[in-house]
């Protein structure tokens, strides 16, 4: 059993890792030659303002009184510069957004493993290409560009990371700090000749990272007064800096200004996914080399945003976020960042036509260089007869287009040259994508073969060990046949390894391609079991076989659809509520059946509720706590009625758990009020929260191992932690889910009795124990397939019942404010992950009880659950896409990652559930008591 699950875990880890090689590999290549426009640039210096977390509508729209929140920026739009919307890509996080802005490429999601703080791979940036760059702002953002720069020409000034406190009284101080430091910097430069001379150089950049808006958005929501007032403060600060620079440089009109944002924010204060409020960010630019405002009678956009902004007569020019990097490089005359895939938005430039054409030509050559390097790399590691080049951009085609573009420039056909260069860029980008995904089909086939093989082997193992289909049949494979089979698969493995070796493939490719070989060898060794299965199926009436197949297919599809539509969980739970009527349980156990119907329908309400965090309500959290206390009082009352000595310890434990619940409620209420008053997270609240969290792992182990008592103890301890992590109605979710689980245990025992299997004990007397009597186990039946399906469905309900966490923006940072308010991605992520896993743990503990009450081997039921999960994972593997909107792409990948994670995590949760249900700690040397 242990060996099988160890191998299974390794297999699933390989399948899980494959998605990163297939979809999440870095798109970057190295070895290109820097390209720059051979004409004098319009600007000597550039100032980049990035207002972190600023939504486009929040900046552009007018307030309730018809006034702009950013009067200086609005004046720029109407009288001095150009504006539009910068479209970001998923994931809408700070690091990828800044990389797109400053380096010109869309970073792969593997950067999340470094908390969006470190460079997973080295890359070039505008800062690196500049003569000097001075930057002020968050240490999380500034450090990655300072570390990635060559030489010592990028200077970063940042505040302490602990200042990024969501619970601080005034987080606008983060932006005030930046503006104040710049003023001090220029004031000091007048007395420092070395610094003064550097500031008078050309090709320099000033970068201001303004984090206050993002922090206020997380803490108070974008609709809050704090968020909107922060925009006003930033607007006033930018006005002062612009005035300061004009004065310092004597109004030489050689400064270009850019204002934008790395990402937007949802109405509920989160970001990371592809909602328009997250991907629509403002873009305003003015100064040297930038076109003045253009009045138009009609716009090319048919959305209603222009009318909402009251800017319908000022030309709006939208760009992609990565296009900003080549624009800034062109303005100050530095080489385009080597890894940039941005397309220069020439319509923003106020310069000669020849400058626009030359800049566009440089942009095309720079992206074509990446294409050439990528093609060469792929060609070197592929056998000549297997290499398939990108036919739309052959060597001759490249030369032809470049010569034609150069000819247009010489003939002063600048518009034609710009258009041709854009066509070349689009072809080069297609070619880059082609070579980046060159091995995707090959790897996909290998992973699918492994998936199908593993699911087949697990299914055959279930049939062989836990069913009556092969009972009494034990035919061994003849030795010559077995030797032939072994030799054949060894030969196949050697051939695959040799093929990968001569192609110079990465070591991970060996895992993906060789793994199916031993898996399918194990499958074919069980061909006798497969033969018995086919024989058994042929004895079934065709209508029964088709019926079972349709039910299984429908069940799997419902599970898959629940990832996309939460209301499918509601539909499933509603069907579950009718289970007693289908199985005649209604007549045998009416009270239990009524409880099942009531709690299933009650649980079915949660998937219809808004996603967690969007409508926080502290009073619902308090209400959930009171309901748990009422349940605890009921348990305590039943204990007091008994008079034996053993109860004293039990009673003390329950009182301790009730105290934890009360403390959790007090901490939640106190923290909520403290943050509302902008007084931060009280230290005592933080200490109590961490103590409650730590104790929740220990207290259940002190309770008796009698089934209902241990499960109640696990619920109470889990709820004390869950309340601290709740912001609204989700606090009620584990309580209702646990009620369904308790009734499910009784329903399964009733079902077993109905099938004629004698139950030796009542549920109230069953003991969780590590040493289960194997003789009590029985063979699998069709009812057990339904039990396995129920478990997977309840796990998905626990996963998606209060929100679709396939979307990153479903995570609400407010959930962890009882534990910490200073930004720490890994710690916050771990706490939010534990919040997700608590309902998971409750379901798995109930599943342990179901296995005991139904006298079924945990291995057999767990194997069926893994097979169902693997079929779902294979389903999502085929649904992964790399086309369409970035929201669709990100969602399809995250679905696969989630279902694969669920399969892997199930192994660990099964062990955790066994630990929580079967282990008992002894205190003060007291002998362990058993209560039957």
pLDDT per residue over 419-478, tens digit each?
A: 999 999 999 999 999 998 888 888 889 989 998 998 898 888 888 877 766 654 444 555
392: three-class secondary structure by DSSP:
helix
**The pLDDT value given to residue 757:** 56
Extract the runs of DSSP E, i.e. beta strands, from 706-775.
Answer: none
DSSP 349: B
CA distances (Å), origin 741, targets 262, 709, 746, 748, 771: 44, 14, 9, 11, 24
Sheet holding 45-51, edge to edge: 154-158, 132-137, 204-210, 45-51, 255-260, 280-287, 82-87, 319-320
Give exposure, 187-202, as e/b (b: 16+ Cβ within 10 Å): eebeeeeebeebbeeb
204: phi then psi, degrees, rounded to nearest 5: -115, 155
Q: Is the pLDDT of residue 807 over 50?
A: no
**The pLDDT value given to residue 927:** 45
Q: Is 397 exposed, middle or buried (0-12, 13-18, 19+ CB in 10 A)?
A: middle
The answer to whether the CB of 470 falls within 8 A of the CB of 532 is: yes
Report, as an integer, the average pLDDT of 890-899. Answer: 75
Report, as an integer, the average pLDDT of 305-331. Answer: 93
pLDDT tens-digit readout, 871-881:
888 888 888 76
The answer to whether the CB of 229 falls within 8 A of the CB of 263 is: no
State the Cα–Cα distance between residues 867 and 213, nearest whole angstrom.
Answer: 47
Nearest to 206 by CA among 42, 324, 48: 48
Q: Is the pLDDT of residue 151 over 80?
A: no
pLDDT tens-digit readout, 777-796:
667 777 888 888 999 999 98
| pTM to 2 decimal places | 0.79
Give pairs for 619-624: CB < 8 Å, separation 24+. Answer: 620/728, 620/729, 620/731, 620/732, 621/665, 621/668, 621/723, 621/726, 621/727, 621/728, 621/731, 622/665, 622/668, 622/669, 623/731, 623/732, 624/719, 624/723, 624/726, 624/731, 624/732, 624/735
87's tokens: 């479209």
CA distances (Å), origin 100, targets 30, 67, 93, 137, 426: 17, 32, 11, 18, 18
pLDDT band at 806 (very low <50, low <70, confident <90, very high): very low
766's tokens: 């069953």
pLDDT tens-digit readout, 262-283:
999 988 888 877 788 999 999 9
State the Cα–Cα distance between residues 185 and 180, nearest whole angstrom.
Answer: 9
Nearest to 408 by CA among 394, 424, 392: 424
State the Cα–Cα distance between residues 906 and 788, nearest whole angstrom.
Answer: 13
Nearest to 86 by CA among 247, 308, 356, 276: 276
CA distances (Å), origin 927, targets 647, 664, 918, 930: 14, 32, 16, 10
The answer to whether the CB of 792 falls within 8 A of the CB of 863 is: no
110: three-class secondary structure by DSSP:
helix
State the Cα–Cα distance between residues 675 and 657, nearest whole angstrom.
Answer: 27
Cα dihedral across residues 266, 566, 797, 881: positive or negative = negative
Nearest to 84 by CA among 365, 394, 358, 306: 306
Mean pLDDT of the chain: 86
């Amino acid at each position: 059993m242990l060996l099988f699950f160890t191998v299974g875990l390794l297999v699933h880890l390989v399948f899980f890792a494959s998605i990163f090689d297939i979809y999440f590999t870095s798109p970057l290549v190295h070895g290109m030659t820097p390209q720059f426009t051979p004409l004098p640039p319009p600007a000597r210096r550039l100032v980049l303002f990035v207002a972190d977390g600023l939504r486009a509508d929040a900046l552009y729209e007018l307030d309730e009184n018809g006034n702009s929140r950013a009067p200086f920026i609005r004046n720029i739009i109407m009288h001095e510069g150009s504006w539009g919307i910068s479209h970001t890509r998923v994931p809408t996080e700070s690091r990828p957004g800044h990389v797109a802005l400053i380096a010109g490429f869309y970073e792969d999601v593997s950067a999340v493993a470094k908390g969006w703080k470190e460079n997973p791979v080295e890359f070039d940036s505008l800062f690196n290409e500049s003569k000097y760059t001075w930057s002020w702002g968050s240490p999380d953002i500034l450090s990655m560009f300072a570390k990635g720069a060559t030489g010592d020409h990028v200077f970063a000034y940042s505040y302490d990371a602990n200042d990024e406190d969501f619970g601080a009284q005034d987080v606008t101080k983060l932006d005030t700090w930046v503006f104040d430091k710049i003023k001090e910097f220029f004031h000091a430069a007048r007395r420092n000749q070395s610094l003064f001379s550097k500031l008078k150089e050309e090709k320099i950049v000033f970068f201001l990272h303004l984090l206050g808006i993002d922090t206020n958005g997380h803490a108070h929501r974008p609709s809050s007064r704090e968020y909107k007032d922060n925009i006003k403060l930033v607007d006033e600060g930018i006005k002062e800096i612009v005035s300061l620079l004009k004065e310092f440089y004597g109004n030489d009109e050689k400064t270009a200004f850019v204002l934008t944002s790395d990402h937007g924010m949802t109405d509920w204060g989160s970001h990371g996914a592809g909602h328009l409020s997250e991907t629509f960010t403002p873009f305003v630019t003015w100064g040297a080399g930038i076109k003045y405002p253009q009045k138009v009678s009609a716009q090319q956009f048919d959305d209603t945003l222009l009318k909402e902004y009251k800017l319908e007569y000022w030309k709006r020019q939208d760009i992609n976020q990565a296009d900003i990097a080549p624009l800034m490089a062109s303005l100050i005359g530095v080489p385009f960042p080597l890894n940039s895939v941005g397309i220069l938005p020439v319509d923003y430039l106020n310069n000669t036509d020849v400058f626009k054409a030359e800049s566009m030509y440089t942009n095309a050559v720079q992206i074509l260089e990446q294409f050439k390097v990528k093609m060469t790399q792929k060609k070197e590691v592929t056998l000549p007869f297997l290499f398939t080049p990108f036919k739309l951009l052959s060597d001759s085609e490249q030369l032809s287009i470049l010569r034609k573009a150069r000819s247009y420039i010489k003939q002063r056909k600048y518009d034609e040259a710009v258009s041709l260069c854009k066509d070349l860029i689009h072809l080069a980008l297609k070619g880059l994508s082609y070579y980046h995904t060159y091995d995707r089909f090959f790897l996909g086939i290998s992973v699918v073969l492994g998936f199908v093989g593993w699911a087949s082997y697990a299914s055959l193992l279930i049939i062989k060990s836990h069913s009556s289909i092969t009972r009494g049949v034990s035919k061994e494979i003849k030795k010559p046949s077995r030797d032939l089979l072994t030799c054949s698969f060894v030969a196949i493995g050697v051939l695959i390894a040799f093929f990968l070796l001569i192609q110079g493939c990465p070591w991970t490719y060996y895992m993906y391609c060789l793994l199916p070989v031993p898996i399918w060898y194990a499958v074919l060794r069980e061909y006798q079991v497969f033969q018995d299965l086919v024989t058994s199926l042929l004895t079934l009436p065709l209508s029964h076989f088709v019926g079972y197949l349709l039910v299984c297919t429908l069940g799997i599809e419902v599970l898959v659809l629940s990832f996309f539509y939460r209301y499918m969980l509601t539909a499933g739970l509603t069907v579950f509520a009718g289970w007693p009527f289908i199985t005649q349980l209604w007549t045998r156990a009416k009270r239990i059946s009524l409880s099942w119907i009531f709690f299933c329908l009650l649980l079915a309400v949660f998937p219809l509720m808004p996603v967690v965090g969007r409508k926080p309500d502290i009073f619902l959290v308090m209400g959930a706590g009171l309901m748990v206390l009422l349940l605890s009082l009921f348990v305590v009352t039943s204990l007091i009625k008994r008079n034996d000595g053993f109860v004293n310890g039990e009673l003390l434990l329950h009182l301790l758990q009730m105290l934890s619940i009360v403390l959790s409620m007090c901490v939640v209420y106190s923290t909520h009020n403290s943050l509302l008053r902008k007084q931060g997270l009280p230290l005592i609240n933080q200490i109590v929260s961490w103590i409650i969290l730590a104790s929740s792992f220990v207290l259940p182990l002190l309770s008796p191992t009698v089934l209902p008592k241990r499960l109640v103890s696990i619920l109470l301890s889990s709820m004390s932690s869950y309340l601290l992590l709740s912001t609204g109605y989700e606090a009620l979710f584990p309580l209702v889910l646990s009620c369904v689980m308790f009734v499910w245990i009784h329903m399964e025992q009733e079902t077993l009795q109905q099938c004629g299997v004698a139950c030796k004990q009542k549920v109230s007397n069953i003991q969780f124990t590590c040493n289960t009597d194997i003789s009590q186990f029985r063979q699998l039946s069709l009812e057990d397939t339904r039990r396995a399906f129920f478990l997977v469905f309840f796990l998905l309900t626990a996963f998606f019942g209060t929100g679709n966490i396939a979307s990153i923006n479903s995570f609400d940072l407010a959930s962890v404010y009882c534990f910490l308010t200073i930004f720490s991605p890994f710690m916050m992520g771990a706490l939010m992950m534990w919040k997700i896993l608590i309902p998971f743990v409750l379901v798995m503990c109930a599943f342990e009880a179901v296995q005991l009450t139904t006298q079924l081997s945990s291995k057999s039921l767990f194997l069926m659950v893994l097979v169902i999960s693997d079929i779902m994972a294979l389903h999502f593997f085929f649904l992964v896409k790399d086309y369409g909107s970035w929201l669709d792409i990100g969602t399809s990948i995250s679905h696969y990652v989630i279902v694969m994670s669920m399969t892997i995590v199930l192994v660990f949760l099964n062990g955790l559930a066994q630990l929580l249900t079967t282990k008992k700690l002894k205190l003060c040397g007291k002998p362990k008591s058993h209560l039957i």
